[in-house]
Amino acid sequence: MNTLWYGGDYNPEQWPREVWDDDVRLMQKAGVTVATVGVFSWAKLEPEDGRFEFEWLDDILGRLHAAGIRIDLATATASPPPWLSLAHPDILPVTAEGVTLAVGSRQQYSPSSATYRRYADRLVRAIAERYGSHPGLEAWHVNNELACHVPHDYSDESAAAFRVWLEARYGSIEALNAAWGTSFWSQGYGSFEEVMPPRAMPTFPNPTQLLDFDRFSSDAWLGVYRAEAAILREVAPGVPITTNFMGFFKHADYWAFAREMDFVSDDHYVDPADPAAPAYAAMTRDLMRSLGGGAPWILMEQSTSAVNWRTRNAAKPAGMHRLLSLQSVARGADGIMQFQWRQSLAGAEKFHSGMLPHAGENTRVFRETVELGAELASLSPVVGSRLRADAAIVFDWDSWWALEQDATPAQLSYVATVFRWYRALWRRGILVDFVHPSGDFSPYRLLVAPSAVVLPGTARHSLAAYVEGGGHLVMGYQSGILDENLHVIPDGYLGELRDVLGIRIEEFAPPAAPSLSGGDVPALSIVGLGGGPAHEWGEIVDAVSAEVLARFEGGMLDGHPAITRNAHGEGVGWYVATAPDDLVAVVEAVIAPVFPNLPAAPPDDVEIVERGGVRFVLNHSELEVEVDGVRVAPRGARVTGTGTRG
Amino acid sequence: MNTLWYGGDYNPEQWPREVWDDDVRLMQKAGVTVATVGVFSWAKLEPEDGRFEFEWLDDILGRLHAAGIRIDLATATASPPPWLSLAHPDILPVTAEGVTLAVGSRQQYSPSSATYRRYADRLVRAIAERYGSHPGLEAWHVNNELACHVPHDYSDESAAAFRVWLEARYGSIEALNAAWGTSFWSQGYGSFEEVMPPRAMPTFPNPTQLLDFDRFSSDAWLGVYRAEAAILREVAPGVPITTNFMGFFKHADYWAFAREMDFVSDDHYVDPADPAAPAYAAMTRDLMRSLGGGAPWILMEQSTSAVNWRTRNAAKPAGMHRLLSLQSVARGADGIMQFQWRQSLAGAEKFHSGMLPHAGENTRVFRETVELGAELASLSPVVGSRLRADAAIVFDWDSWWALEQDATPAQLSYVATVFRWYRALWRRGILVDFVHPSGDFSPYRLLVAPSAVVLPGTARHSLAAYVEGGGHLVMGYQSGILDENLHVIPDGYLGELRDVLGIRIEEFAPPAAPSLSGGDVPALSIVGLGGGPAHEWGEIVDAVSAEVLARFEGGMLDGHPAITRNAHGEGVGWYVATAPDDLVAVVEAVIAPVFPNLPAAPPDDVEIVERGGVRFVLNHSELEVEVDGVRVAPRGARVTGTGTRG
Amino acid sequence: MNTLWYGGDYNPEQWPREVWDDDVRLMQKAGVTVATVGVFSWAKLEPEDGRFEFEWLDDILGRLHAAGIRIDLATATASPPPWLSLAHPDILPVTAEGVTLAVGSRQQYSPSSATYRRYADRLVRAIAERYGSHPGLEAWHVNNELACHVPHDYSDESAAAFRVWLEARYGSIEALNAAWGTSFWSQGYGSFEEVMPPRAMPTFPNPTQLLDFDRFSSDAWLGVYRAEAAILREVAPGVPITTNFMGFFKHADYWAFAREMDFVSDDHYVDPADPAAPAYAAMTRDLMRSLGGGAPWILMEQSTSAVNWRTRNAAKPAGMHRLLSLQSVARGADGIMQFQWRQSLAGAEKFHSGMLPHAGENTRVFRETVELGAELASLSPVVGSRLRADAAIVFDWDSWWALEQDATPAQLSYVATVFRWYRALWRRGILVDFVHPSGDFSPYRLLVAPSAVVLPGTARHSLAAYVEGGGHLVMGYQSGILDENLHVIPDGYLGELRDVLGIRIEEFAPPAAPSLSGGDVPALSIVGLGGGPAHEWGEIVDAVSAEVLARFEGGMLDGHPAITRNAHGEGVGWYVATAPDDLVAVVEAVIAPVFPNLPAAPPDDVEIVERGGVRFVLNHSELEVEVDGVRVAPRGARVTGTGTRG
């Protein structure tokens, strides 16, 4: 398409046909260019085993196409109909405690179920055959939010699949025993038949068993995607395929998924009540762009106003929906889609806002829907263009899964740690990519690795080479502690990065709340660069060759290094052993030699991004600001430049 | 009876017979008029399958009768004996997660169990035949606190009963699909056989499935009552029948229960530590009176001092027990009963206070027991008299169940919302009834409908007619949003009440805590009537014809209406879109034209109620107050007037 | 041994043999005298059913012995290998909700499993036969931390064992019914076959059923110990046997365990973040000494720095590890062992600190390991010596279990209550023993009984006799309320202790948070002895003959006694009805006549203990202090005297 996608999930099966005409009319009024159809239509398309009813779908797709609205057609596999789950209860997922989950919501199937696979394949093939050459077809939308509600399935069928996966990974039970460290706690396995998923246990499970089950579960869901995509490619070659991501979602390794997708798409639901939401949303946009290797992506779902699944669901104030849409485009999106077109009157999401609310056309939400459609139409020149970042954050799911296990030095949040760094860079106006530890670091002048706790030898080696070749690397605490099997890297952690950073780590000493008397986790204090309060982490760092730029003050860490800098090869290795309040000051020191001509930081909560020749000045604050000598209203945006097609 | 019931649960089976003589002597000393016997006697009455032992019960009933103490005789079905549950494990209830609940506490049966029903029926019939014409028999007490511990049973037998219930409600599976909105999330059912109770699921269940399971479960428990009552009526016609309610209890629709009971009775355990307890207790008394259509009711259980089931159990300070007993009489009770007569020495309730405490006669609790008996004896003139309220609060279980579902705009508490309004009216000295949305509004000059979120068309119509005919209606937020199937009422919610209130509702905007960074839910602010801080709820209201009496100030709702008033027909429709701190000010504005001659508000925490010619001035505060020119001591009461038999 | 044990758990199976040489070398450098070997070696020793591999263990035991390091040899039964649990799933434990716990962590067996017993016995016998006369063998170490992760097993096999246990305890079902008070809630049993463990139930279980299941479960684990110990004694008579305790561990009655052990050993993991940790640790040391009847005990596990199982794991500041080790020796330990020698690189405890950390020899932790070894070597003179306490705290598991049941007057923590008293005595410099209610009180001039809620008649009698004979007894609230079956002691509680204390208790009145509006539990206030704020508990005490030394002020308890003192016989009975902030003042008043020549209290957080002629001055504070005219550094110790062998 030469224009941005604009539209939303459209569920005509929830409405009588007399409403369909009205839908098409209002979509046109709103400038809708694409509709996602069929995500939850299985029960309508196959009301009984093997009996398909496509007439209604033919009808609505025809209407949309006639109105010039392109179709993102779903494979309809996201929620099996009740007859299927009840005829074949083996498809139902099972929890770690052995509870079989029941019919009545959605995603009530195991990704490892052969029965589910057989039925889903038949449906996908039928849809592909019927609509693969439909003139309105823009893309295939595989399933929906894979893994969202059933991140792990502990059924016997999954257990068998897990064993197959393990045998493929390790080859022999001896290799598994070595990788899992089963000499600990008498866990040595005699054969793969003995291995189980990490169901409820008396105490802490084997960490590598847990990690492998995380990897397996992600792969099992990827298998669902892969199976459907293979049929679509076979039956209807050439139609681009996606499945909708869920931003920073822990239970699916999106690096692996993205490799098999024709374009990345994402569902992102900002919390309007959260002051940190604009930066967090920006981080998510940058992740999506990075997952696709820099290619444009689609914002596949967002809400026009409130969602319905938080404890309390704030509405979006005027302007916020536009700002976040423009932010997405600025950061690489070629489409702005909403869940959903017309707000439902029944079901579990009826209180989720839509483009066309319960109260109808004469509402501020529908007026904003129309205005946004017009504005996005004017942004067609950016379609296809790419952004270029000079900085990147090292990010991967192994570290996420490992860092948040129990029985670790402290319960830390991986994404919170990453976000702390992202936000400081964002405030400073620096565009960042995300990069996998095994990825290509060469485009970047600066790499930040916050709590990259799992770093296999190859990754450590390439990070070292990166610095030797002139790169600037900032490592945060809890990075380079474990290898890919979660075995500790001994003798001071970090392995080959010890020389790069000029340090060794002697011992962890995170601040902790007193367990007998309770209370909050105390703050730390550092002096020097970024001086002032610091949080969450402390440790005993031995500065071997590094320069010490900040030190802990007080407590058992008094005088120990908190921030170090080490010239190494052609580059520089930084180490930050805590979470200072003033992380922006640290960022300033890091970037000064890297980006010597960087403009001054934008005003608070203002972001400035250029894409395809268009400059986006987005003021997320509730104050009027001045940028480039021009005033931008509170929650306002200024979009300038003509754009160049990428 | 011509006197008030006074007494308590009496469990002679816990004591050797030598204690029984002492019990009767002390009951007489205390002025006990009624004893509830046999509630947990099944295992004693039927120690083996089919072998009944009634001699001990003959004995104690004879003693009580000889002493002039009337008998409220239980059907003894509340806790099946171990032999029954173990011989027939199919009677045991099952949780949503599939856990079968075990023997060892009480209520370990499914209300849908045919086996339970068969055994319970045999027992009830045996009791009815033996004691139906006992000269001491005052009333039948069916089972005990139905549904209290097993509000829902998810067993296969309940699943089958649920399907029968659904088929009776909907007639066809198509009708069920339409009502449940199963087009959403691919939930269309092909037959009733496919439908299941809402067992543990991957995510939010279908809301109407949930609501129907709430309704079914309430009906299943009502079925337990109904089955026992039918036997009692058949065998011993003419003896009044009750079962003991639990105040504002979510899991049984007491409107439906009360229709089948000869009189309402209630168990109410005030929290002595709670400053709001007097108002909350008053609200509960008024609900009981209303459930019985205004007829006198029995306070069937309360504690003389501490209970044993809170995390920490406060004792009642001197005077509180008397005050709350008098409050009940003032608000329509014809009996003041306690759990229990003699405090147990063993079992799970041994730390629950009794009329006769562990420490015996020489205690402040037993002294208060004796004093209260004497005072209640003097109040015989009020027996049978009725109160008349000019105001009512609309209350029903559908709204309760629906409002507190997940996947709604905000997690709200129905009873907390109702209580906020009740308390403001109580402070102002206004007696209120509760009324079902399908009830008769004609007795009332003022109706308040707080979060009446479910309003079927008939109810909306009759509320509209009420205002047209001159009634004053105050609707709170989240009223009139859904129909009886939980389908949204479109185009601004409220349906025909839009004209009555002169508004439409465009969008919900409840205040919310930031999800990334946590924190408290922020307060709102309103200006105008009831101006100052407000809480819990905000929304975008469009004042079509209504006068705006207060507006939100600040934030995204700045300037939007918060309180509106609309003259409509002969009456007035108010709408209150938030929870102002100063709700009393709003109440004052509402009632000024309705009750122009209302006396000034009583002092804080003082309530004044008249019943049957007796005036009760109850000072719940810890300060001495002056009412009618007479001083009333802290936690004291003044009861005046001779009373007239109703 | 003539020297203190010093060393740790040693798990050579986690390391290649080339590391073993290094281990022995570094152990010698550190002054290690004992290594615990084989705790989690089952899978290595018996990799397949019936095939034993001992060669590797022969090897390492030989190396240790050659190096002069004694061996604490484990029976290796703590974690059955996967092949066993999977071939015999009947050994797996089951939760109260019916979840069978899976393989993958440790302790995945039911203590009642006959299959487990059979396999464990065979292994223990094989180990005993092979190593029973090994010249390096110092002691047998049975299993590991019995009951830690599976305090209760609810499987059918446990249910059967529970019934056998009950039949042995009660003889007849009538006796059980009487003891359990089954007349309450219709729980009468017809036969033992009907009795079940307290699996998940609708509401509060029968309290005595719960208590008996606690007792049974403790006995079941004791049975595991007993079975292994019997084989060891049979095959290798004369070798001392222990199993490692876990300090104040709720789920095993260590009084019963200790009776069957040759010496007590304990695992204790201080929370370095907790200011109360030194006093709490001291209390634990005193319990261990008391459990062994005053005999020396072994600190079997502690960490050199951080653990890995708290939410956040603080490191130990410099000096703390030494101080706590010396504290243990001062309070009766003849050995200071650590978990573990060499920090693991894999598995669920890899982040648990060791004597030899990940970072190797050049670390502060290993330097402290070496220094501590040297210092402990110099303390050999204390080995075998005993301490003598003049005061004791009454402590037992029945009271612990009963006090913390639900459906009690308030949720209290038994150990927190005990610790409040212990800490006040510790601050005052008074050494205390712990004593069972049925124990020998004659050595003590002062007894404190905090929340000794269960006191059988014999215990009440012996406490009364103790006071009559001149003892000073301080009883805290919630003491003497229940007999051994949890039946209330009627007529004012306390039984024969009413005369001793000169009081009766009329009614409990603990402060409580308001349940409707939430909030904190309010503080109480007392005037008189220990005047000021008080917490947690209040009640109505009737001072019959006792002198009232403090009274409650305000609220419903205003003016009621809070602290009483009663001269009785030759002694004195105190009663303290609340938890005053200033408990030290109360202690001062209590001890003045008992210990008239007691030295002044030591400085805050300093403890002074003498053992075997050695005086330990331990300064846990972060300030320098002066004791005996000599300055002691922050977190420093002064150890003086030559010592005399006990």
Local structure of residue C283 (DSSP, 8 states): H
How does the average pLDDT of chain C come out, rounded? 97
Element (H, E) at A65: helix A55-66
Stretch A2-29: mean pLDDT: 97
Set of chain B residues whose Cβ sits within 8 Å of the Cβ of C521: 312
Conformational region of residue A483, where left means phi above 0, alpha means psi within -120 to 50, and beta covers everything else: beta
Cα C509 to its chain centre, rounded Å, is 30
Return the C-alpha torsion angle A167, A173, A177, A178, nearest 10.
-90
Beta bridge partners of residue C394, listed in sequence order:
C435
Cα–Cα distance measured from residue A417 to residue A400, given in angstroms and rounded to the nearest whole number:
10
Cα–Cα distance measured from residue A265 to residue A501, given in angstroms and rounded to the nearest whole number:
37
CA-closest candidate to residue B531, choices B491, B492, B475, B583: B583
Distances (CA, A) of B458 to B168, B244, C161, C558: 21, 31, 62, 57
Cα nearest neighbour of B183 on chain A: A14
Both tokens of C172, joined, read 């007849």
Neighbours of A319 (CB within 10 A): 18
Please answer yes or no on whether B344 and C181 come within 8 Å at the CB atom.
yes
Please answer yes or no on whether A487 and C345 come within 8 Å at the CB atom.
yes
Please answer yes or no on whether A209 and C104 come within 8 Å at the CB atom.
yes
Contact in structure between A78 and A107 (CB atoms under 8 Å): yes
Question: Looking at residue A516, what is its pLDDT?
Answer: 82
State yes or no: is B301 an active-site residue. yes
Decide if pLDDT at C307 tops 90.
yes
Cα–Cα distance measured from residue A423 to residue A446, given in angstroms and rounded to the nearest whole number:
15
What's the one-letter identity of residue B112? S
Cα–Cα distance measured from residue A497 to residue B614, given in angstroms and rounded to the nearest whole number:
88
Cα nearest neighbour of A622 on chain B: B555
Decide if pLDDT at A644 tops 70.
no
Nearest to B487 among A275, A346, A359 (CB): A346
On the 0-12 / 13-18 / 19+ scale of CB atoms within 10 A, A449 is buried
Decide if pLDDT at C141 tops 80.
yes
Cα B183 to its chain centre, rounded Å, is 36
Low-confidence ranges of chain B (pLDDT < 70): 642-646
User: Structure pTM?
Assistant: 0.97
Stretch C403-428: mean pLDDT: 98
Strands A606-611 and A579-580: unpaired
Which of B193, B201, B482 should one mutate to test binding to chain A, selecting the residue with the greatest count of A CBs within 10 A? B201
Decide if pLDDT at C436 tops 80.
yes
How far away is chain A from the Cα of B483, in angstroms, using its nearest Cα?
10
Both tokens of A69, joined, read 């609205």
Stretch C105-111: mean pLDDT: 98
What's the one-letter identity of residue C151? P
Both tokens of C297, joined, read 């005990």
φ and ψ at residue C475, rounded to 5 degrees: -105, 135
Question: Looking at residue A518, what is its pLDDT?
Answer: 79
Which of C103, C323, C349 should one mutate to test binding to chain A, selecting the residue with the greatest count of A CBs within 10 A? C103
Which sign does the torsion angle of CA A133, A134, A137, A139 carry?
negative
Beta bridge partners of residue B606, listed in sequence order:
B619
Contact in structure between B562 and B532 (CB atoms under 8 Å): no
Which sign does the torsion angle of CA B29, B31, B32, B33 carry?
positive
State yes or no: is B97 an active-site residue. no
Neighbours of B135 (CB within 10 A): 9
Which sign does the torsion angle of CA A435, A436, A441, A445 carry?
positive
Query: Using H for helix, E for strand and C for coil, what is the string for B410-456?
Result: ECCCHHHHHHHHHHHHHHCCCCEEEECCCCCCCCCCEEEECCCCECC
Give residue A517's pLDDT band: very low, low, confident or very high (50, 70, 90). confident
Nearest to A190 among C47, C280, C351 (CB): C47
Set of chain C residues whose Cβ sits within 8 Å of the Cβ of B273: 511-515
Distances (CA, A) of B476 to A47, B314, B575: 42, 34, 6
Which of B95, B186, B206, B404 should one mutate to test binding to chain A, selecting the residue with the greatest count of A CBs within 10 A? B186
CA-closest candidate to residue C163, choices C176, C178, C179: C176
pLDDT, tens digit, 9 for 90 and up, residues C271-294? 999 999 999 999 999 999 999 999
How far away is chain A from the Cα of B584, in angstroms, using its nearest Cα?
26
Which of A91, A313, A413 should one mutate to test binding to chain B, selecting the residue with the greatest count of B CBs within 10 A? A313
Cα C121 to its chain centre, rounded Å, is 27
Stretch C621-631: mean pLDDT: 96
Helices (H) and strands (E) in chain A, counts: 17, 26
Nearest to B512 among A11, A275, A313 (CB): A313
Which sign does the torsion angle of CA B301, B307, B308, B310 carry?
positive
Set of chain B residues whose Cβ sits within 8 Å of the Cβ of A310: 512, 515
Set of chain A residues whose Cβ sits within 8 Å of the Cβ of C275: 514, 517
Nearest to B185 among A79, A93, A313 (CB): A79
Beta bridge partners of residue B575, listed in sequence order:
B475, B564
Local structure of residue B328 (DSSP, 8 states): H
Stretch C212-229: mean pLDDT: 98
Q: End-to-end alpha-carbon separation of chain C, Å? A: 13
Stretch C413-419: mean pLDDT: 98
pLDDT, tens digit, 9 for 90 and up, residues C520-540? 999 999 999 999 999 999 999
Asked, as a colleague might, if the bond just before A327 is cis with ω within 30 of 0, I would say no
Both tokens of A634, joined, read 């509170």
Please answer yes or no on whether C346 and A188 come within 8 Å at the CB atom.
no
Please answer yes or no on whether C206 and B309 come within 8 Å at the CB atom.
no
User: What does C38-82 look like in DSSP terms, one character per residue?
Assistant: -TT-HHHH-SBTTB---HHHHHHHHHHHHTT-EEEEE---SS--H
The beta strand positions in C420-570, using DSSP E, are 432-435, 446-449, 472-476, 503-508, 524-528, 532-535, 539-543, 547-552, 561-568
Decide if pLDDT at A643 tops 90.
no
Please answer yes or no on whether B188 and A81 come within 8 Å at the CB atom.
yes
pLDDT, tens digit, 9 for 90 and up, residues B334-373? 999 999 999 999 999 999 999 999 999 999 999 999 999 9
* Given B46, B145, B375, B539, the catalytic residue: B145
Neighbours of C241 (CB within 10 A): 20
Contact in structure between B487 and A345 (CB atoms under 8 Å): yes
Cα–Cα distance measured from residue C622 to residue B15, given in angstroms and rounded to the nearest whole number:
60
Set of chain A residues whose Cβ sits within 8 Å of the Cβ of B203: 105-107, 148-149, 348
Set of chain A residues whose Cβ sits within 8 Å of the Cβ of C40: 184-186
Local structure of residue C204 (DSSP, 8 states): P
Please answer yes or no on whether C271 and A514 come within 8 Å at the CB atom.
yes
Question: Looking at residue B643, what is its pLDDT?
Answer: 63
Question: Looking at residue C518, what is its pLDDT?
Answer: 79
Set of chain A residues whose Cβ sits within 8 Å of the Cβ of C350: 181, 207, 486-488
Chains that touch C (3 or more CB pairs under 8 A): A, B
Decide if pLDDT at A203 tops 80.
yes
Both tokens of B365, joined, read 């609790």
How far away is chain B from the Cα of A255, in angstroms, using its nearest Cα?
24
Cα–Cα distance measured from residue A305 to residue A313, given in angstroms and rounded to the nearest whole number:
9
* Cβ-based neighbours of A308, under 8 Å, separated by 6 or more: A348, A349, A350, A351, A352, B407, B408, B409
Please answer yes or no on whether A78 and B510 come within 8 Å at the CB atom.
no
What's the one-letter identity of residue C468? E
* Given A138, A157, A228, A301, the catalytic residue: A301
Which of C351, C353, C367, C635 should one mutate to test binding to chain A, selecting the residue with the greatest count of A CBs within 10 A? C351
Give residue A1's pLDDT band: very low, low, confident or very high (50, 70, 90). confident
Nearest to A40 among B186, B200, B504 (CB): B186
Cα A364 to its chain centre, rounded Å, is 30
Nearest to A83 among B194, B206, B493 (CB): B194
Secondary structure of residue A391 in the 3-state scheme: strand
Set of chain B residues whose Cβ sits within 8 Å of the Cβ of C484: none
Question: Looking at residue B519, what is its pLDDT?
Answer: 83
Query: Using H for helix, E for strand and C for coil, what is the string for A504-550?
Result: EEEEECCCCCCCCCCCCCCCEEEEECCCEEEECCCEEEEECCCEEEE
Neighbours of A309 (CB within 10 A): 15
What's the one-letter identity of residue C6? Y
Stretch A556-584: mean pLDDT: 98
Question: Looking at residue B515, what is its pLDDT?
Answer: 85
Contact in structure between A397 and A560 (CB atoms under 8 Å): no
Set of chain C residues whose Cβ sits within 8 Å of the Cβ of B363: 506-507
How large is the ipTM?
0.97
Question: Looking at residue B24, what is its pLDDT?
Answer: 98
Decide if pLDDT at A249 tops 50.
yes
Both tokens of A481, joined, read 């502690």
Query: What are the b/e assignments for A538-558, b being 16+ CB within 10 Å?
Result: bbbbbbeebebbbbbbebbbe
Percent of chain A's residues with pLDDT above 90: 98
Contact in structure between A100 and A153 (CB atoms under 8 Å): no
Cα–Cα distance measured from residue C536 to residue B420, given in angstroms and rounded to the nearest whole number:
31
Nearest to A82 among B181, B187, B493 (CB): B187
Q: With both helix axes pointing from N to C terminus, report the angle between C207-235 and C173-180 in degrees, rounded to the nearest 10.
A: 120
